[in-house]
């Protein structure tokens, strides 16, 4: 964010969006395997289209999981059930699977980190106490002071709108809605800070006809869209902005179903694929992204675990008052435990120099895969939450969540960072 005055937009999608259907299926499979066998290596990819779901990938585990049943249950819980699904149905869709074991070449390097080997080829067929990264790659974490959960305002509002859209459907408040939907919020920034809401956009799948209170069916699309717009404004948009410090004003644009009709949706309208909503999953484009998706990946994959750790680091730095904005970049080599690089960027808002913050991060956060897994109990979370954890994060974002007890959102490093920053003679007044 380099300009002082600008518009910034982020989007979210509901759990019924085809890509999010796939993310939830992949993470439901992950949850099931980790619940039964915490050491499981899982890379589950899903695609859905008209009348079909396909799961493929690599899974190594000492347990059995009925993958087709997990797929059908996930689709059912989203709401694709009979007529309510608008053409996609958990009972009748085909479920195909094509699963192999994890490559022994990858497993050997992950099981025993490069730092623990006598030479590069000294790999292990069994997991050791010090595992290496499951792949190379770069991961970013971010936090800022725009919201109480230290997330950018546009993505925070977009997630809440999308979640509310699903709530009013599932609770029967608006019983003509179908599972697919999207939200988008444009925020106007003045002097680099959120000033007003410029545009709110909701697109929601719906029945072709709406039952009127009088008992008759309204089938004229002009009237249907008018009802939808009024209902969405009242029950979704106004509901979310009722207690916001930056609310709607007379010039805020409200757009509801600007395509004019949204009856055909979900996997029947568009094919879906795991990992195609990585910006929705993270910071809404406000921060950089390394390109790696989360869903369907066990915690040895640093695309997931290191991104969680990077958010944890950034959030603690901002919460400690050391910066108003903080972005962390981590980079890993496959089979190597220690990150190959760590970078802190505070975009000119830091009370401590970025290189000094980088040193603080290295001294206070163990960013090896095994340390991240153990710190957040990433392998044990599904069993501790009744078999469902990662699938709960597969829609409405992995960061800033208050409805799920997410360990990487904890602020247990704030005091340590404050005290150690004082020795750097920072100007934030954190020692007072």
* Catalytic machinery residues: 17, 19-20, 45, 58, 182, 262, 270-271, 276-277, 297, 301, 303
Give me the residues paired with residue 328 across strands: 141, 344
- Look up residue 215 and give its two tokens: 């008992």
- Look up residue 286 and give its two tokens: 């406000």
- Look up residue 260 and give its two tokens: 């004019």
Give me the residues paired with residue 183 across strands: 12, 202
Query: For residues 49 and 126, what is the distance between their CA atoms, to the nearest angstrom?
Result: 38
Query: For residues 210 and 267, what is the distance between their CA atoms, to the nearest angstrom?
Result: 22
How far, rounded to the nearest angstrom, does the alpha carbon of residue 366 sit from its chain's CA centroid?
23
Query: Given CA atoms 144, 150, 151, 153 in this order, what sign does their dihedral have?
Result: negative
Residue in this structure with the two tokens 């948009």, named with its chain if needed: 237
Contacts of 23 (CB under 8 A, 6+ apart): 46, 274, 275, 277, 281, 293, 294, 295, 296, 394, 395
Query: For residues 356 and 241, what is the distance between their CA atoms, to the nearest angstrom?
Result: 39
Nearest Cα to 21, choosing from 316, 394, 311?
A: 394
Query: For residues 323 and 73, what is the distance between their CA atoms, to the nearest angstrom?
Result: 44
Query: For residues 20 and 316, what is the distance between their CA atoms, to the nearest angstrom?
Result: 29
Nearest Cα to 189, choosing from 420, 2, 424, 391?
A: 2
Nearest Cα to 228, choosing from 178, 156, 155?
A: 178
Measured in Å, how far apart are the chain's first and last C-alpha atoms? Answer: 30
Residue 229 burial class via C-beta count within 10 angstroms: exposed 0-12, middle 13-18, buried 19 and up? middle
Q: How far is CA 413 from CA 12, 410, 419, 425, in A?
A: 30, 8, 10, 19
SS3 of 125, please?
coil
């Amino acid at each position: 964010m380099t300009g002082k005055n600008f518009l910034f937009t982020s989007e979210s999608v509901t759990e019924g969006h085809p890509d999010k259907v796939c993310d939830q299926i992949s993470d439901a499979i992950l949850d099931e395997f980790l619940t039964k066998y915490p050491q499981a290596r899982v890379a589950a990819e899903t695609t859905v289209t008209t009348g079909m779901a396909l799961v493929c990938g690599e899974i190594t585990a000492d347990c059995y999981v009925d993958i087709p049943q997990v797929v059908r249950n996930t689709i059912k819980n989203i709401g694709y059930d009979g007529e309510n699904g608008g053409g996609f149905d958990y009972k009748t869709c085909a479920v195909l699977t094509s699963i192999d074991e994890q490559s022994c070449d990858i497993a050997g390097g992950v099981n025993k980190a490069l730092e623990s080997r006598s030479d590069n080829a000294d790999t292990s067929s069994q997991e050791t106490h010090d595992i290496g990264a499951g792949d190379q790659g770069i991961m970013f974490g971010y936090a800022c002071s725009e919201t109480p959960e230290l997330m950018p305002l546009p993505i925070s509002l977009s997630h809440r709108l999308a979640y509310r859209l699903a709530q009013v459907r599932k609770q029967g408040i608006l019983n003509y809605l179908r599972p697919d939907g999207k939200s988008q919020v444009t925020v106007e920034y003045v002097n680099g800070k959120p000033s007003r809401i410029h545009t709110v956009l909701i697109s929601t799948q719906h029945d072709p006809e709406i039952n009127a209170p009088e008992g008759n069916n309204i089938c004229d699309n002009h009237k249907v869209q008018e009802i939808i717009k009024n209902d969405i404004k009242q029950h979704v948009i106004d509901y979310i902005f009722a207690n916001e410090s930056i609310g709607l004003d007379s010039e805020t644009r409200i757009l509801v179903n600007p395509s004019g009709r949204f009856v055909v949706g979900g996997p029947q309208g568009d094919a879906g694929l795991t990992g195609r909503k990585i910006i929705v999953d993270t910071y809404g484009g406000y921060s950089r992204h390394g390109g790696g998706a989360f869903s369907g990946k066990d915690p040895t994959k640093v695309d997931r675990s290191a991104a969680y750790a990077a958010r944890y680091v950034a959030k603690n730095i901002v919460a400690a008052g050391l910066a108003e904005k903080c972005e962390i970049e981590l980079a890993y080599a496959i089979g190597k435990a220690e990150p190959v690089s760590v970078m802190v960027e505070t975009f000119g808002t830091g009370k401590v120099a970025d290189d000094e913050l980088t040193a603080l991060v290295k001294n206070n956060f163990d960013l090896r895969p095994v340390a991240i897994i153990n710190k957040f109990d990433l392998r044990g979370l599904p069993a501790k939450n009744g078999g469902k954890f990662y699938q709960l994060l597969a829609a409405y974002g992995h960061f800033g969540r208050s409805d799920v007890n997410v360990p990487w959102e904890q602020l247990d490093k704030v005091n340590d960072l404050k005290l150690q920053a004082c020795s750097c003679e920072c100007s934030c007044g954190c020692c007072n």
